[in-house]
Structure formats: structure tokens, C-alpha cells
Amino acid sequence: MPTPDSPVPLPSADELVERSHVVALPLVTRFRGITVREAVLLEGPEGWSEFSPFVEYADPEASSWLAAAVEDGWSRGPEPLRDFVPVNATVPAVHADEVPAVLARYDGTTTVKVKVAERGQSLSDDVARVAAVRAALGDGGMIRVDANGGWAVDEAVAALRALEPFGLQYAEQPCAGVDELAALRVRLDGRVAVAADESIRRAADPERVVAAGAADVIVIKAQPLGGARRAIALVERLGLPAVVSSAIDTSVGLSLGARLAAALPGQQLACGLGTASLLAADVTADPLRARGGAVAVRRVVPDAELLARHAAAPERTRWWRERLRRCAGLLAARTDVG
């Protein structure tokens, strides 16, 4: 059996498929352009794990998500340093009137991440949404905005000036490129902190963010980075405060994120691991949702009845298992895993 510090042998594609359960979970509201979240759950010898790259991601990128699933299900992983992880609420790009209902799904969270720069919406929509969050939170809560790289530098400066009066902890990936983030940080002159997300998890050279002075905070996700151990090593190399986030995972995937966050020394910033509250259904009767503003650090075991109830349609199950096989082949050829 591998130790937490040793490479994890890659199971065969046949074994992965045999251990796989493909699910389709409805969302409470449209998020990231989808209303249903599909995922592959794998019953590994060390516990359940999740493989859920977004459908538009190409196989080479998706193979890192499989590396994370294999590491999580076939090894014990890093030892957690704490039993609970504080989390933020996440507000999709909804109308301002819908904000209170979204926040009501999160118990005790005092940090909120608000999606902005949504295609088809305006800055006035963003301002109204953030204002509604501030009104609901009161003066003491923390607000983050996430543009998913949707602004050019000039647009980001104008938008963040308009949003700054509501008190921003940071702006996550306001611009798409590292050079743009660096230029924006200069122009903001410390008034609003900048967090890098896609420039970390989707970059061939995430260290460039630090070299360019492009961020104050980094956002990391266990699946895209290839697993908890690789994510921890990256945080150590970059040396910036880290926020562990999710990709609208099931509670199985969120449990990996919570264990990653709990293994980071000195972790204090609320993490984006409360997104089970955006799911209208889950694979366990005890979802990993925020309670008192935090999620518990634990492995999640799906309920057989819920796996069956939310099983993906046969054609989607075939699609995911074919993808699983392709990514396993790519992973077997890589020299940086296993």
C-alpha cells in the first residue's frame, strides 16, 4: 500500500471503469452555464473519489483531474491539521432580488464570493448584486468577487472602482492573462487585492504568477492540479496565501478539497468548499454543507440508493466511461504522475 509520500500506482482503465458510477445532479440555479452537474465517482480501496472535469475540457487537461481521483481513492493522502475548514458562500450571477434566497442555503458563512462579469450582463447588474450581498451580510462580512477572467484591464479598473465601496477582500481572476493581472495590480495600487485562479490551475507555468507580481492570493483546486499532494507542493513553492476552492463538485469531491485545505499549515482564509449548497441533490444523505460557517474534514461515502436515483442516462454514462478510458491512457503515458 502506498504511503502518503510515495507515488500512487495507476489502476488499469478496466479497473477504473468497473469501479465507476456516473451521476447527474441538478443545480439549484444556473451556474457556469449549466443546470446539471455530471461526475464520475470511483470506489477506490482507500475510499471514494471523484473525476469531474467540465465537459468542454480536452482530455490532456482532464487527465490531471483523473490523477487527483486516483491519488484520493488509492492512497491515504496528507494528514489533516484541523477538523473543520471555514468556507465562503457562493452567489452565482443571479438578479439582486435572488441574493437573500441563495445566502439562506449557507449556514453561518460570513464570507461571500459573488460572480461578476457574466456574459450578457452589465456592470450595473454586478453592482446591484454585490450591494445586495453587502446588505445581507452587514458591515462585518467579507465579500469577494470572481470575474473568471472576464474583464480587460481598463474594464477591471472601472468595475473594481465601482465595487470597492462595498468592501472587497479580493477580486478573483479579474483578467485572463498573467500580464494583465500584473498591470491591474499596479493600477489598483493596493486598494483591492487580486487573486489568481485560472492563471494557477490552467497554466503550464503557475510560478509565473509570482514572478510577474500578478497576485496577492492564489486559488487552488485539488482536481485540476492533479491531487492534494501536488497542490500542497505548489502552495509551498509559490509562497502566497491560498484559498482552496471547488468546481461544483459532489460532496465526494468537496471532501478532497476540505482535506487539502486542512493539510495546509496556517490556513486561515475561508475556502470555496461550500458549493454543495448549490446542488439540488447530492450522492449522500449527509452532504458536505456549511454548518456554522465551516465544513467538516471527513471522507464521504455515497448512499447506494442516491447513486441509483441520480445515475446519468445510459448515453452519458457511456460518454464518461469512454472519457475515463482515454484519460487513463494519457495518464499512463505521463512521467510526472504515478
Report the binding-site residues for Mg(2+): 146, 172, 197
Q: How far is it, in rounded angstroms, from Cα 253 to Cα 307?
A: 15
Phi, psi of 311 (to 5 degrees): -60, 140
How does strand 20-31 pair with strand 34-44?
Answer: antiparallel
Burial class (CB in 10 A: 0-12, 13-18, 19+), 216: middle
Cα separation, 180 vs 185, whole angstroms: 9
How many alpha carbons lie under 13 Å from residue 52 in its C-beta half-sphere? Answer: 26
CA 56, CA 303: separation in Å to the nearest integer?
Answer: 29
Distance of CA 218 to the CA centre of its chain: 12
Q: Does residue 328 contact residue 13 with C-beta atoms inside 8 Å?
A: yes
Would you state the cell numbers that stand for residue 288, as one nine-digit string?
A: 458536505
Residue 26's DSSP bridge partners are 36
Sequence-distant contacts of 133-136: CB under 8 A, at least 24 apart: 133/91, 133/99, 133/103, 133/166, 134/166, 134/167, 136/99, 136/100, 136/103
Measure the CA–CA gap between 144 and 89, rounded to whole angstroms. Answer: 10
Those residues with Cβ within 8 angstroms of residue 150's Cβ, 6 or more apart along the chain or in another chain: 116, 117, 118, 119, 174, 176
* Calpha distance 330→333 (Å, rounded): 5
Q: 36 with 25: CB under 8 angstroms?
A: yes
- Catalytic residue numbers read 115, 221
